[in-house]
Amino acid sequence: MITVPEKLKASVAKILEEADITIGGDKPWDVHIKNDRAYLRVLSSGTLGLGESYMAGDWDCDRLDIAVDKIYKAHLETYIKKNPRFIAQVISAKIRNYGTKNQIPEIAAHYDLGNDLYEAMLDKRMAYTCAYWKGAKNLDEAQENKFDLICRKLELKPGMTVLDIGGGWGSFIKYAAEKYGISGVMVSIAKEQVAWAQEACKGLPVECRVQDYRDVTGTFDRVVSIGLFEHIGPKNYKTYMQVVRRCLKEDGLTLLHTISARRTDPTMDPWIHKYVFPNGILSSLKQIAEVAEDYFVVEDMQNIGANYDLTLMAWYENFEKNWKGDLEKKYGGETFYRMWRMYLLTCAGGFRARENELYQLVMSPHGVPGGYIAAR
């Protein structure tokens, strides 16, 4: 049995009280300590220790999403950044090149966990990116809203060719082919995703490939990327822009849909890196603008980040509803359940606190003659 000094417990409790979180309290967002080793793991390893101790059942919280929202709004992350381990993470992040080809198996692993898991959690079209909830009654409608918004921003017309970089389960390219009459190519590095997409897109003028974005050739009327940029890594942003520019016709449009950090930060969350998205790191709007300016005119930018909170909570509700049974047996029971629960709810809290955003940028090679009129 681990013995933790009462003084140390009191100091942790005092920090949490700054965010209106009480250890052992009765509010839904209060924290309940089940094993005192949670204190030591959090203090020694920051968010990695926080996540691992939650997965181990050392502490609990009914509404993790609310707790995280409150933690961010109270700026409690500053305590973590004082930890020497955080300084080491910053140094490592500046040295390493995230998103290289030899990291593809690690990146793809999250998306290849199993289509049954994602079928249970996502909408009917299998969209694993932020939905657009304006006027929507449910997740299915919100995801179709998002796809339609993107199609209108790209000014799609029948007969156009579209390249979808990192297209997941083919949800966007299928929608665009069905509703807007385009033909196109979708590439992803995740084999399970592409297999699902190939089946879903049968009979449509769409090709779904297992391929890295750097290896795509050909030219297209439109290029779209929905949720790939988070995996590219800062040292490869220029390469991404070069690939898009190479593949886009001179009078074309491209749309980048990506999660971004509120501030430029060279680090990634160590728990997310280890258990959810290996080598994933968020850009800031500043970083995107700086690398885009050498290749494109930014015609439009829309921040729909508040919609990701609603999307993540919808995914969480589906996950909870469908967990018991085959999913629980296949994915390893309580540890995986708590990991996935923490992933969805803490991310929802981060978007609610507006620490993370979701940007859609429309860009053109030379500027749209007469100006671009943004769809909303």
DSSP for 299-364?
EEEEE-THHHHHHHHHHHHHHHHHHTTHHHHHHTTHHHHHHHHHHHHHHHHHHHTTSEEEEEEEEE
- Which of 176, 99, 178, 171 is CA-nearest to residue 129? 171
Structure tokens that stand for 53 in this block:
């101790």
Neighbours of 28 (CB within 10 A): 12
68 C-beta neighbours (distance < 10 Å), count: 25
Active site residue 347: yes
Which residue in the list 130, 151, 201, 347 is annotated as catalytic?
347
Tokens read off for 16: 């949490």
Distances (CA, A) of 333 to 208, 242, 315: 33, 44, 19
d(CA 349, CA 357): 12
Contact 187, 168 (CB under 8 A): no
Query: Which has the closest alpha carbon to 186: 232, 277, 247?
Result: 247
CA separation for the pair 264, 262 (Å, rounded): 7
Annotated catalytic residues are 347
